[in-house]
Amino acid sequence: MRLMEPLGVDLEVIEVSALKRWADFPTQHRFSDYSRALGNAAQYSASPFPCQPLLNNKIALWTGDLTSLRVDAIVNSTNETMDDNSPVCQRIFHRAGPGLTKEIYNEIKECKTGEVKTTQGHNLPARFIIHTVGPVYNIKYQTAAENTLHCCYRNILQKARELGLRSVALPVVNSVRRSYPPEAGAHIALRTVRRFLEQYSESFGCVIFVLDPRDLEVYQLLLPLYFPRTMAEEDDACWQLPSDVGGIDGEPQLPDRQIRIIDNPQHTLHAKSRKNSGGQWHATKIVGNLPEIA
């Protein structure tokens, strides 16, 4: 089926049923002996994300045009004033038509980082647009960025569930334009979606990761860790998953990182000696009154 854009150009509409599900992608077993490749002990004795075929059938990958998908909702990753100039955001506004701009101006106005706002889909095949604002990444505030990104994905899915939406198209919320490392963002996205589907699988028919070719490569590499399709992938995940796999909702669990203030002239850097448990003296760098965290 085709719709017509305002300029009279045909817009192909892609149905959810036409999308390839994660369960249908070929499996890849990269190493036959992780004990030799990565050490003598696996990170986990059992994977925190066991194989669940039902969940794998709810995940789809799409590398085409987000605005061509006939879904209940597509996600627009934007900025706080909702006028981001990214190509995807601009395409959403162009294809949705002037009604979207008017609705945002009159009713929405802004969206804070980590939150979501919902508008009608207007001229898009999608019924709704869920807008969210991803974090700016800075290594000094890494924990805050991780928590905010988790909130973006969690709030998107929660809003969709509240509205009774069965299919959601998710682009990559963590933007390279905002300095967020693609692989680190993918870990948060995948585990957050996985945990949400574990709790509310009956609420969704399909969650679609909409990816460009570069992100597709990252997601195909990491998806088997969070959505294993075979026991071999589940076993491999015990070696490959990071130490932080999130809490019950996929939220980051690492302790807050203290910020280095070495360059601040108001703080002095000096060495303080202390004894360790073996009776040996060694120096610890002190920044102001706080030990520096390596």
Please check the confidence at residue 116 and state whether its pLDDT lies above 90.
yes
Please check the confidence at residue 292 and state whether its pLDDT lies above 70.
no
Please check the confidence at residue 241 and state whether its pLDDT lies above 70.
yes
Cα(129)–Cα(121) distance, integer angstroms: 5
Beta strands, E only, the chain: 2-4, 10-12, 14-15, 59-62, 69-70, 73-78, 116-120, 128-133, 167-171, 206-210, 269-275, 281-287, 290-291
Percent of the chain with pLDDT over 90: 71
**In CATH, 2-240 is 3.40.220.10:** yes
Q: Once rounded to an integer, what is the mean pLDDT over residues 73-101?
A: 95
pLDDT-derived band at 183 (thresholds 50, 70, 90) equals very high
Q: How many CB atoms lie within 10 A of CB 15?
A: 12
Q: Once rounded to an integer, what is the mean pLDDT over residues 37-46?
A: 75
* Look-up of token digits 């590398």: 63
Residue 267: its pLDDT value, please?
38
Please check the confidence at residue 275 and state whether its pLDDT lies above 60.
no
Please check the confidence at residue 78 and state whether its pLDDT lies above 70.
yes
pLDDT-derived band at 38 (thresholds 50, 70, 90) equals low
Cα(98)–Cα(119) distance, integer angstroms: 13
Residue 254: its pLDDT value, please?
67
Nearest one of 175, 153, 195, 219 to 49, comparing CA atoms:
195
Residue 274: its pLDDT value, please?
45
Residue 160: its pLDDT value, please?
98
Nearest one of 198, 201, 221 to 211, comparing CA atoms:
221
Please check the confidence at residue 31 and state whether its pLDDT lies above 90.
no
| Beta pairing partners, 291 | 286
Q: Once rounded to an integer, what is the mean pLDDT over residues 20-46?
A: 73
Cα(122)–Cα(129) distance, integer angstroms: 9
Q: In what order do the strands lie in the sheet with 290-291?
A: 269-275, 281-287, 290-291
- Mean pLDDT across the chain: 84
Query: Residue ranges of the domains in the chain?
Result: 2-240, 258-294
Nearest one of 203, 217, 177 to 87, comparing CA atoms:
177
Q: Once rounded to an integer, what is the mean pLDDT over residues 42-51?
A: 93
Which amino acid, residue 248?
I
Q: Is 156 helix (H, G, I), strand (E, B) or coil?
A: helix
At residue 104, what are phi and psi to the nearest 5 degrees? -65, -45
* pLDDT tens digits, one per residue of 13-24: 999 999 999 999
Residue 2: its pLDDT value, please?
45
* pLDDT tens digits, one per residue of 198-229: 999 999 999 999 999 989 999 999 999 999 99
* pLDDT tens digits, one per residue of 121-178: 999 999 999 999 999 998 888 999 999 999 999 999 999 999 999 999 999 998 777 8
Q: Is the dihedral of CA 153, 128, 197, 158 positive or negative?
A: positive
